[in-house]
Amino acid sequence: MKKIIFLLIVCLFQLSLSAQNNLQKIEFINFSQVNVTDAFWKPKIDKVATKTLAACIYQTEVATPRLRNFERVARKKGEPHEGIFYDDSDVFKALEAMAYSLKTHPNAEMEKKCDEWIDKIAAAQQPDGYLNTWYTLKGLQDRYTDMSMHEDYNAGHMIEAAVAYYNATGKRKFLDVCIKWADHFDALFGPGKRHWVTGHQELELALVKLYKTTKNEKYLKLADWLLSERGKRLAKGYTWTDWKDTAYAQDILPVKEQTQITGHAVRAMYMYTGAADVAAQTGDVDYIRAMKTVWQDVVYRNMYITGGIGSAGSNEGFSQDYDLPNEQAYCETCASVGMVFWNQRMNALTGDAMYMDVLERSLYNGALDGLSLTGDRFFYGNPLASRGQHQRREWFGTACCPANIARMVASLGDYIYAKSDDGIYVNLFVGSNTSIQLPKTKVDVKMETNYPWEGKVKIIVNPQEKKSTFKLYINMPDWAFNHLDIDGLYNITTDDGEPFHFSYKINGKSFSGSYENGYLSITNEWKKGDVVELDLPMDVKLITAKAELKQNNNRIAIQRGPIVYCVEGADNNNKAWNIVLPADTKFETIDYKIMDEPVKALAAEVPVVLVGEDGLSIRTEKRKIVAIPYYTWANRGKNEMQVWLPSTIKDVKINY
């Protein structure tokens, strides 16, 4: 009897452990297995492979000393370091973007360039595995003395680049460099060793990638341990001692106890992405409970309509709830890229489409705005209003954003499809095709659409061998139902289209759909050539903000599909600050071009405030205005711009 009881206890323990470790709900299909054919995204992916990466390469190895620092380490001639202590990371991010591009755009010259860089990086590695040009050139005796100095951040981006390059080419040299570094770091830090609090989080998520690539569990344990170090007053470095700001690096409370977003936006996004990655592998529900709470704080009280985050330039991050100024908005491009990373992980953990709704908002607006239409100019910050002082730049002293937006666009395929044991998920509407292995069959999936300009989506399902029954989950964006899943922070006030119901067609026959966690769920016995058709409403939405968001009181924003719009002077007699947008405004959707970018613009007749010829009077006059997609602004020189337009005239400010 005792033996039976013991065996039952063991079985129950194993079942409990199995349930705990099975936290991840869905698995995203890797971009390398997705062929993007989309009319909207493919030209951008192509442009990144040519123009953007060419700019990154030129700036990294010619115009700035970033790559030359690695050469100086290898020469061992006592040469000084040039640049900033985190410049190594820009080399690694550019390499990661190049690796993604090699997978979608094979290029022998590009691969040769990567190998040249990798040789220089490997030559700069110290015998014990340490690799950081700042401390190696300035004095190794000072390494690991200041946790704010980005040694961990640089290494994290190095690991991400090495994993990407290994996956793209199968070459191990760079991966082995990173394994040697990670083993070196693990020998110094961890339980029973030295404490370490990452100054700029990034290493956590990178170590999970290294674990998934090598299957060595010590890297996963190290990532988990690094997260556990926060909130215990263990940090030493200028962020904590000079600035005395533990909130800046999200170090007030242990990660599992955090409930509010604080500090530097990019640091926060990378940390929570890392926590989600660890939770997916370990089954630690405490991480996901904390992340859900913090996510609500971000999205319900601290997110711009564009999906951008981090309103304050003083800390490149968060200030007070509902403090979302437009003209002074910081909204770093990297933070929007981080929102894409984090929300993808949250969707994978929960299977809830609301995270994909936020991901889509950040992707098409806050993040994409960081890249010019020509592919070689960039925004670091992304304000929602401008009096003409903003312009895109070729590069930055702190150049995290160009390579970051490049690597995200190059790997767009990562976010389109996912799978679970019972079916296939379509998360973004992007023209593409892929093959997905389910437990009982392999399925070819092809998507055809002119999204985001049109709402028609066609999904062709082809089981490779025989008929097969499984679910097809199709993300139904919240805006399609005149509702935004952000707790009333923003509200759609118009409904110009027909009420949208959960209906779809299979092979031309209409069906009513069921709704599961934000997805249209279709259970069917699928056969080769089955076609699912969906038609999303693409009417214009007028959006107001919660009263607590005082900067947007009596103002209206415009959205069509996933695209947030703005008015720019280039389309409106060089003015964007004299336009009034009444709440009953009706827009006409028109074909338009911003430089060479075909878009859907919005036109309407609205009151415009004009100054009299005598300069002593003003009047309002109805004029036609044109609104353009927010991501396209500032591509035609310096211009006035606004996303939120006044719905009534409350006051007049005189400029002279």
Same domain flag for 513 and 616: no
Report the distance separating Cα 505 and Cα 218, nearest Å: 49
The residue written with tokens 């395929």 in the block is 413
Considering 244, 269, 289, which residue would you say is the last residue of a domain?
244
Q: Are 227 and 204 in contact (CB under 8 A)?
A: yes
Same domain flag for 47 and 161: yes
Q: Which two tokens stand for residue 610?
A: 């004009």
Q: What is the three-state SS of 109-138?
A: HHHHHHHHHHHHHHHCCCCCCCCCHHHHHH
For residue 443, the model assigns a pLDDT of: 97
Q: Is the pLDDT of residue 16 over 50?
A: no
Same domain flag for 589 and 471: no
For every residue of 404-456, DSSP letters joined together read HHHHHHHTGGGGTEEEETTEEEE-S--SEEEEEE-SS-EEEEEEEE-TTT--E
Same domain flag for 597 and 491: no
Flag whether 339 is in a domain.
Answer: no
Flag whether 403 is in a domain.
Answer: no
Task: Compute and round to an integer the Cα radius of gyration of the chain.
Answer: 25
Same domain flag for 460 and 490: yes
Rounded mean pLDDT of 639-651?
A: 93
For residue 7, the model assigns a pLDDT of: 35
Considering 503, 535, 567, which residue would you say is the last residue of a domain?
535
> Residues 136, 138, 142, 148: what is their CA dihedral angle, to the nearest 10 degrees?
-90
Flag whether 365 is in a domain.
Answer: no
Q: Is the pLDDT of residue 6 over 60?
A: no
What is the amino acid identity at position 430?
A: V
Give the mean pLDDT of the chain.
Answer: 92
For residue 496, the model assigns a pLDDT of: 59
Report the distance separating Cα 261 and Cα 250, nearest Å: 8
Task: Flag the least confident range among 205-209, 399-403, 476-480, 639-643.
Answer: 399-403
Q: Is the pLDDT of residue 512 over 70?
A: yes
The predicted-structure confidence for 142-188, as pLDDT tens digits, reads as follows 999 999 999 999 999 999 999 999 999 999 999 999 999 999 999 99
Same domain flag for 432 and 573: no
The predicted-structure confidence for 583-627, as pLDDT tens digits, reads as follows 999 999 999 999 999 999 999 999 999 988 888 888 999 999 999
The predicted-structure confidence for 293-348, as pLDDT tens digits, reads as follows 999 999 999 999 999 999 988 888 899 999 999 999 999 998 999 999 999 999 99
The residue ranking higher by pLDDT, 15 or 259, is: 259
- In the chain, the percentage of residues whose pLDDT exceeds 70 is 95
Q: Are 425 and 519 in contact (CB under 8 A)?
A: yes
Residues 6+ apart with CB under 8 A from 356: 343, 344, 347, 427, 428, 475, 518
Same domain flag for 445 and 514: yes
Instruction: Look at strands 468-475 and 423-426 and give their pairing.
Output: parallel
Q: Domains in the chain: how many in total?
A: 3
Flag whether 356 is in a domain.
Answer: no
For residue 313, the model assigns a pLDDT of: 85
Task: Grade residue 656 by pLDDT with cuts at 50, 70 and 90.
Answer: low
Residues 6+ apart with CB under 8 A from 247: 262, 263
The predicted-structure confidence for 339-397, as pLDDT tens digits, reads as follows 999 999 999 999 999 999 999 999 999 999 999 999 998 887 899 999 989 888 887 77
Flag whether 432 is in a domain.
Answer: yes
Same domain flag for 447 and 563: no
The domain in which residue 98 lies consists of 37-244
For residue 284, the model assigns a pLDDT of: 94
Q: What is the DSSP secondary structure assignment for residue 317, as one 8-state letter?
A: B
Q: Which two tokens stand for residue 162?
A: 């090495």
Interhelix angle 333-350/354-361, rounded to 10 degrees, is 160
**Exposed, middle or buried: residue 91 (CB in 10 Å: 0-12, 13-18, 19+)?**
buried
Flag whether 412 is in a domain.
Answer: no
